[in-house]
């Protein structure tokens, strides 16, 4: 909302469930979890690639959510792209990929989406605030990651 003030206005209006589009784009664009890791238990071959026992394998979550073969202009923040998203659970993997029931997708995903909708809706409609100078860069090599300054706000005023 800070970097895209137009989104804040759309969120406050929340026409056609804009809040869901906004939340989905946040989860795609920002490195919710940049990668996940697992250790191979037994040798296996997948896609002509041998995974040897005990190898640490990292899944590039951020890379897949920014792959230009899957996403048009992936480095642009465009919530509206989710109006046309085909629902492929392997292209959008902010909380793990595949199916919630028999894949590696986080079962808390729907909870996270609802919490984000409510929290961001509150910030867009119930309060005004200032955002002082700070460092909003985030490292991609730690999980979970977050902005260096977190996100500092001050002079919070309630909107009546
Ligand atoms: C921003 C918040 C969250 C993120 C980024 C996140 C991400 C993930 C990821 C990447 C996995 C691993 C999937 C895998 O490769 O096996 C996972 C698993 C899991 N998550 Fe979340 N999660 C979040 C919030 C939650 C919440 C709120 C809950 C519960 C209400 C939850 C419950 C779980 C559980 C139980 C698993 C293990 C599933 C399994 O191994 O079968 N998560 N999550």
| Alpha carbon distance, N-terminus to C-terminus of the chain | 20
Domain enclosing residue 78, as ranges: 5-126
pLDDT tens series, the chain, 160 aa: 999 999 999 999 999 999 999 999 999 999 989 999 999 999 999 999 999 999 999 999 999 999 999 999 999 999 999 999 999 999 999 999 999 999 889 999 999 999 999 999 999 999 999 999 999 999 999 999 999 999 999 999 999 8
Asked whether residue 144 is assigned to any structural domain, the reply reads no
| 104 upstream amide cis, omega within 30 of 0 | no
> How far away, in angstroms, is 14 Cα from ligand 1 center?
28
Residue 131 domain-assigned (yes or no): no
Q: How many domains does the chain have?
A: 1
DSSP label at residue 101:
T
In a domain, 151, yes or no: no
What's phi and psi for 129, nearest 5 deg? Answer: -160, 165
Ligand 1, pocket-test mutation among 24, 56, 95, most atoms within 8 A of CB: 95
- Is there a domain that residue 137 lies in? no
Nearest CA to ligand 1 atom 43: 106
Return the ∠ at Cα 155 (arms to 150 and 157), rounded to 5°: 115
Q: Count of H helices and E strands in the chain? A: 4, 6
**Residue 108 domain-assigned?**
yes
């Amino acid at each position: 909302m800070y970097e895209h003030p137009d989104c804040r206005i759309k969120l406050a209006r929340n026409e056609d469930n804009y809040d869901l589009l906004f939340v989905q784009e946040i989860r795609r664009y920002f490195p919710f979890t940049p990668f996940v890791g697992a250790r191979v238990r037994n040798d296996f071959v997948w896609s002509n690639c041998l995974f040897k026992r005990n190898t640490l394998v990292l899944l590039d979550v951020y890379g897949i959510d920014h792959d230009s073969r899957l996403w048009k202009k992936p480095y642009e923040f465009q919530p509206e792209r989710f109006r046309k998203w085909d629902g492929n659970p392997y292209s959008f993997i902010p909380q793990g990929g595949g199916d919630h029931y028999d894949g590696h997708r986080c079962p808390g995903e729907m909870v996270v989406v609802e919490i984000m909708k409510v929290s961001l809706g509150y910030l867009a409609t119930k309060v005004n605030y200032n955002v002082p100078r700070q460092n909003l860069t985030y490292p991609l090599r730690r999980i979970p990651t977050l902005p260096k300054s977190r996100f500092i706000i001050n002079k919070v005023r309630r909107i009546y």
